[in-house]
Amino acid sequence: MTILISIIVLSVLVMFHEFGHFIVAKLSGARVNEFSIGFGPRLFKKKYGETEYSFRALLFGGYVALEGEDEKSSDPRAIVNKPWPVRLAVFAAGPLMNILLAFLLLFIVFFNIGSPIPQVKSVMEGYPAEKAGIVPGDKIVMVNNTKINTWEELEKAISSNGERVLTIEIQRGNQILQKQVKPIFDKNASKVMIGIVPDYERSISLAFKTAINQTIYFSKLIILSLVMLVTGKVSVNDIMGPVGIVQAVGTVAKTGVINLLAFSALISVNLGLFNLLPLPALDGGRILFVLAEAVRGKPLPPEKEGYIHYLGFLLLIALLIFATYRDILRIF
């Protein structure tokens, strides 16, 4: 069952990615020959108008086949014959759709569970907040003369101060009280904290803001991971392949729908940002060629660009096989 859930999750993420390319191509008047979920042998196909829609055996991927994408075409609607801003929009739409999907999933999550607010639900025993006299129900309104409106602002104010003493103003009923609190570094949480658990509030506007902040946080986290991978601070042996992702999704699925939605959002951001890398065969590689054309004033011959993307595709397949091999070694 968990494998089925994993396949469904990954298929939906890929489908949204490809739908981004598809819908922008259609809206711009570009000809779309095929919209496919998965690679390999066709399990299902149906043609509507000029576009064939297919579902293939290997679900860890998908594509939109655009007329003239990797070769010359006399069709005026071929993507190769479209102005470079149109092509840029089509190639960028897939990754951006993944980021939009992540936001929507996180909005659902935070609208259901509520969003953290700078009001104390509970105080951790033995931590600085308890020692300073902060109690459940206290609302934190200011830290070091900086007004606090959100939980994210409170976290930032605490973490940026290090382990220096904080002057925290709290609202307790009709009273405004001032507390001196010295944060500590918690090894388990790997961050500086004062030991409070936030209360949660459910509202559309708060869920919207929190979903945006969490999407940005996921993006920063993934970009940092990619930079560490490129600079050698993270080994390629640590890359998770399809088998590892399926296992991870299955594990998270057992903990509940909300956690599965949040984890799916993380994978969606990962998929979007990975595809923006300026590497051949990825959307980022195609965007790079379009930008180069905009600067040079003329495009690279489609056949040459197609050959470069083909080599890039082979390298990606090799990386996929390597990552799958590492996944199997980790599991068994």
Residues forming the active site: 18
Please state, in angstroms and rounded to a whole number, the distance separating the CA atoms of residues 39 and 320.
13
From 23, 19, 21, 50, select the one nearest 34 (Cα to Cα): 50
Which residues contact residue 261 at a Cβ distance below 8 angstroms, ignoring those fewer than 6 apart?
A: 105, 106, 108, 109
Please state, in angstroms and rounded to a whole number, the distance separating the CA atoms of residues 112 and 213.
17
Structural contact between residues 24 and 89, judged by C-beta atoms closer than 8 angstroms: yes
Distant-in-sequence contacts of 199-202, Cβ < 8 A, 24+ apart: 199/116, 199/117, 199/119, 199/120, 199/121, 200/113, 200/114, 200/115, 200/116, 200/117, 200/121, 201/114, 201/115, 201/117, 202/111, 202/112, 202/114, 202/115
> 100 φ, ψ to 5°?
-65, -40
> 58 φ, ψ to 5°?
-95, 105
- Buried b or exposed e, range 182-200, using 16+ CB within 10 angstroms: ebeeeeeeeebbbbbebbe
